[in-house]
A = this chain, B = another copy of it.
Amino acid sequence: MSQYRILIDANDEKGLVHKVSSVFYGFDLNILSNSEFVDKESNKFFMRSVVDGDVNKKELTKAVKEILPEGSSVNVIEPKKKNIVLMATKELHALGDILIRHEAGELEANILAVISNYDTLESLVNKFDIPYITISHEGLERLDHETQIIETINSFEDVDYIVLAKYMRILTPRFVEAFENKIINIHHSFLPAFIGANPYKQAYDRGVKIIGATAHFVNNNLDEGPIIEQDVIHIDHAYSWQEMQRSGRDVEKVVLSRALKLALEDRIFIYANKTVIF
C-alpha cells in the first residue's frame, strides 16, 4: 500500500467531484484527505486528494484525465524527498533556518547545493556537509554569470525547487523561464510599498508600524509572481532602520520556511499569477 497525492485542475463543470471520486473508487483507493476549490471568476476547479492504495500511476493519471474536460491537468505524486537548490548572497538568517530544519528532519527535501555569488556563507554551509558553490559575478556580464548558474543547476538531476534565501541579484527572464514555477523567493514587504534602494530606510522615514515579508514564486515581473505566504510583525518609533531590518529578518525566515514546506508537500496550485493552497 502506498500513499499518493493527486492534484487536479480543470475547467469547472457539474459532476467533477463525482466523476473523479468514481475513478478513485474504481482503483480501490481510500481517500485520506480531500480539498476542493472552485474559482468562480475564472471557472477553474482545483482538487488535491491524498489517497492510499496500490496503483499504476500512469494508468490512474490516464483514467482521471479521460473523465475531465479538455485541457485539464492531473498530477499523481508519490511523496518523497524533493531535490532543492538554495541560492544566497551574504545574509544567513533565511538560509540558516532552512539548514536547521533540514538537519532536524522537518523538510521533505534533499539540499543538493547552496549556490552563492560570494563565499561568505561557505563555512556555515560546509558544517552541514552540503556542497557550497561560489559563482562570483565579478568581472562577468549578467548573462554570463547566469549561464554559469543555470549550468550548475542543470548539472544536478531532477531539481524540483530553487529557493532564493536572500539571493540579492536580479534574475533575467531567461533564468526565470528556464525554471518556470520552480523558483521561490522571499522579500520584505511594507505598507505602503517602497521601491528602490534601502527600503528599510524608506520605511523608517515613513514611520511604518508594521514590517512584513512575502514568499512568492518568481516570474518575469520582479517581486510580482504568485504569492505563497505573507506575514508581518509590529514595530514602533523606537526602531532604527537597522533594528527594523534585524526584526524583518525574523519574519522573512519564518515566511520562507513555511512557503517551502507548502511546496514540498505539494499543496500549491499556480494559476492566473496567484496560488490556491490546500
Contact = CB atoms under 8 A, between A and B. Distances in A.
Contacts of A172: none
Q: Which residue among A14, A214, A226, A250 has the maximum number of chain B CB atoms within 10 Å of its CB?
A: A14
Interface stretch (A63-71, A134-142, A173-181, A235-243): A235-243
Given A92-B100, A193-B192, A254-B254, A18 B15 contact: no
Contacts of A31: 14, 16-17, 36, 38
Contact of A33 (B36, B227, B229, B230): B36
Contacts of A39: 237
Contacts of A41: 204
Contacts of A214: 191
Interface in A77-131: 91-93, 96-97, 99-100, 103-104, 106, 124, 127-128
Given A212-B191, A214-B191, A250-B254, A37 B30 contact: no
A165 to B, nearest CB: 12
Contacts of A103: 92, 96, 124
Q: Interface of chain A, helix or strand or loop or mixed?
A: mixed
A42 B36 CA distance: 23
A227 B207 contact: yes
A58 interface: no
Contacts of A96: 100, 103-104
A184 to B, nearest CB: 14
A119 to B, nearest CB: 16
Contacts of A30: 14
Contacts of A61: none
A234 to B, nearest CB: 8
A273 interface: yes
Nearest to A257: B250
Contacts of A246: 106
18 contacts: A14-B30, A18-B22, A33-B38, A41-B204, A93-B104, A96-B103, A103-B124, A106-B246, A191-B214, A191-B230, A191-B232, A192-B193, A192-B224, A205-B273, A209-B228, A209-B230, A210-B231, A231-B234
By Cβ-Cβ distance, the 5 closest A-B pairs, closest first, are A207-B274, A127-B127, A96-B100, A18-B21, A189-B191
